[in-house]
Structure 1
């Protein structure tokens, strides 16, 4: 996974200590209702498109950027799905992060999905009923994206 420059600078000061970071989860649906997934290069697992927001970046803009970077397609953000803090995660290099995850529903605008960076080894469109197992917070975002008129879910 590419580590943003601002995180590299923070890590130079705090080492591997826990950092609070904001990330986005993009649930991208095409005109047929299929879901865009990427197979992560670090774990080999299928996942929704995710990524770290840059300082000052709006979540919708970050979701659009992450989908473009990872899958090479253009999307439009339609609505907020969920906001929650995730448990402490530890990367393969020992970096610790407390993620605040912002899930958004997106629709495909243009382009053909393909592996577009080194964060993924495959990209594919899946019927919602055939989506491989996802982490609980991603599965929640997908379920909300597929539910018409669902209100945004906020962790308590």
Structure 2
């Protein structure tokens, strides 16, 4: 099962290495990792997606809390969240397929950010399933390159 963790850490050089090293030493695979500075310039937020059962999650959480640079760990897995990924996708096109690819981009509410004679680059945001579906749809045209950010997530606002 995939678990999404929001980890608030000190914004210093080497913190990412310490946190990712914790996962590596215990042979836990990070499915995705996004890091950025928060509204407080001294604090960064890591959104980490890790694969494992509840025991793995418990161990990871306990180990993260032991790191001095970690201020807070929140498991967002079962919470009401807004989550997104960003993908840039280069798709092969020719005179016959260009219109079909552009229509597919519209269906998925993507945006063409670069267009050449033989390829287009599409920017797409959404949950992982939406991006996966887009990739499956355009793969027959010729998927040339794919870059994804990994998941970012934030708790939903109260009603």
TM-score band (shorter)? under 0.3
Higher helix share: 2
* Larger-Rg structure: 2
Higher relative contact order by CA 8 Å / sep ≥ 6: 1 or 2?
Answer: 1
